[in-house]
Amino acid sequence: MASNAPVGKPTDMSSPRLPKVAGIDSTVPAPPDTVAPLPGVPSAAPPSDAALPPGVLIQDRLASWVSDLTTLHELTERLIKTDSLDGALREMLGAGAALVGARRGMAVLEPADGLGPTSTIGLGLAHADLGTIETVPRGSGSYGRLLDGLPEADPPGAGLPGNSPAAPRRPARVPEPIAIRDVRTEEGLDPRHREVAARLGYAASYALPLATEEAGRLGAAVWLYDEPAEPDERRRHLIGLYGRFATEHLARLLQVERARARVATVAEELLPSRLPRVPGVRLAVRHLTGPQGGGDWYDALPLPEGALGLAVGSVSGTGPSALAAMGRLRASLRAYAVMEGEDPVAVLSDLELLLRLTEPARSATALFAYAEPAQRRIILAGAGHAPPLVVGDHRTEFVETSLSAPLGMLTCWEAPSVELSPAPGETVLLYTDGLLRRTGDATDRAFARLHAAAASVPRADRSDPGAVADHVLRTLLPGGLDPAVEGEDVVLLAARFE
């Protein structure tokens, strides 16, 4: 690989002039054999400047420093606005291409601790191009050498009381960037590397480790030039500063992403691992969670004599405390359903008393249905919950339930139950309020949209409760549930009676 020693003058780059970034143009034109200077970053002064008066040289140097700082400020401000790993990697790739004067590139997220997540993002490269680059042996590719050659930092917690060995955390050594000025003439490259470069049409590359001494290795980025080139000393300095800032930002986003994954895992573990199989009814469920993890839940419990208990509910709050409360509430409801499931009002009354005594500051909504699939008979009661929706070939209508307060809101909760007899082939939809609120519409408008979505289920899909649930979700939330947007979870439980 070519050394990383600073070069004496700018070399020829391969990219066209990029859009203005910082709002300051170079006052000194670049030599004709180089790429256009990075907008907002003045070019290195030509040798003739040595004959200029000292005061002019100082002014030019100060202007250059101000321009560099302005450029870095603009680029880091744009980067800090990203709130996802994918978005940050794409922003970093684009800004890095402007700083080093390249047109294409790729970033590989591969944390050294092996805990993930991992991903590969391309700039100006199709998915097939990324796959082609990955066929190059890692030891020959510059980004692969950075990923494999960087020592790992000690894992978090090393050296703290109770951990062994009791040694202070050692920062990881950060390797130098790797520049390949000309793939055709570079010594020691694997023949496959030259073949891939010729196929994709790049002649040089500059690879930067996404690593700092404290964060360790998170990944690597490599930018590709169409002609033999490498960034000059000034561009190396700028991309180095920007790369360190980008790595720290990625490290913060990585911690957030892992925390979200842990919360999602806990939430899934607190819910049924699979739906029961009960003769006479087919079940399907869709559960979408937000970034903080909410307290929405569902349950399907086989009961004696072929009966089935169906429940959906929501606990106030988000995060670990709401998940814990949701788990306790769901476990309690299962116990009450086994003891007195034929009386949904008694089940919810017991649940309300438990919530009021154990968690007086928390409220919850719940709906419990006692179903006898053989007789196609359902008895249900709700506490502050939205009414179920029946979907069939001849009707699409909400079940008329009485209005009632959520659990934990009154000194003593009680509301009458209702009985429902679905026809053969009809599907009963139980859902949480998050489905309505995620639409962003007023309550009456959200109910109207839900009714229209259920009524528009294609006839061919109505025999499959999963297809019915998917159609309703696609219609109400065409963009899905944005994981970056705070909000309630969405639960949709579908039961089709044969």
Please write the tens of the pLDDT for every residue from 253-309: 999 888 878 877 776 777 787 899 999 999 999 988 766 666 788 999 999 999 999
Q: Where a domain ends, among 221, 244, 262?
A: 262
Query: What DSSP letter does each residue of 67-78 carry, written as one string?
Result: HHHHHHHHHHHH
Confidence of residue 94 (pLDDT cuts 50, 70, 90): very high
Same domain, 378 and 405: yes
Please spell the DSSP secondary structure of 89-150, one letter per residue.
HHHHHHHHHHHHT-SEEEEEE--TTS----EEEEES--HHHHHHHTTS-TTTSHHHHHHHHS
Q: Over the stretch 345-375, which tens digit does the pLDDT of each residue have?
A: 999 999 988 888 888 888 899 999 999 999 9
Q: Could you tell me which of 373, 237, 371, 355 has the C-alpha nearest to residue 295? A: 355
pLDDT tens digits, residue range 130-153?
999 999 998 888 888 888 865 444
Q: What is the pLDDT of residues 11-70, one digit of tens each?
A: 444 444 444 443 334 433 343 334 444 444 444 444 445 555 666 678 777 778 888 889
The domain spanning residue 243 has which CATH number?
A: 3.30.450.40
Domain of residue 336 covers 270-497
77 and 175 housed in the same domain? yes
Tell whether 215 and 314 lie within a shared domain. Answer: no
Residue 243 in domain: yes
Statement to judge: residues 434 and 298 lie in one domain: yes
Looking at 198, 229, 262, the residue that finishes a domain is 262
**Which CATH number covers residue 343?**
3.60.40.10
The answer to the question of residue 37 being in a domain is no
Pairwise CA distance, residues 281 & 495, whole Å: 6
Phi, psi of 195 (to 5 degrees): -65, -45
Q: What is the pLDDT of residue 300?
A: 95
> Which among 251, 250, 233, 225 is positioned nearest to 68, based on CA atoms?
233
**pLDDT at residue 446 above 90?**
yes
Number of domains in the chain: 2
Same domain, 245 and 356: no
Claim to verify: residue 284 and residue 256 sit in the same structural domain:
no
Tell me the H-state helices in 134-210.
142-149, 191-200
The sheet that has 364-372: what strands, in order across it?
A: 294-303, 307-318, 364-372, 377-383, 418-420
Q: Any residues with CB less than 8 A from the CB of 325 and at least 6 apart, and which?
A: 295, 315, 317, 359, 362, 364
**337 with 479, same domain?**
yes
- Same domain for 374 and 423, yes or no, is yes
Average pLDDT across the chain, whole number: 82
Q: What is the pTM of this model?
A: 0.61
Per-residue pLDDT, averaged over 382-401, amounts to 92
Q: What band does 170 get if pLDDT is binned at 50, 70 and 90? A: low
Q: Which of 148-152, 185-189, 421-425 is the least confident region? A: 148-152
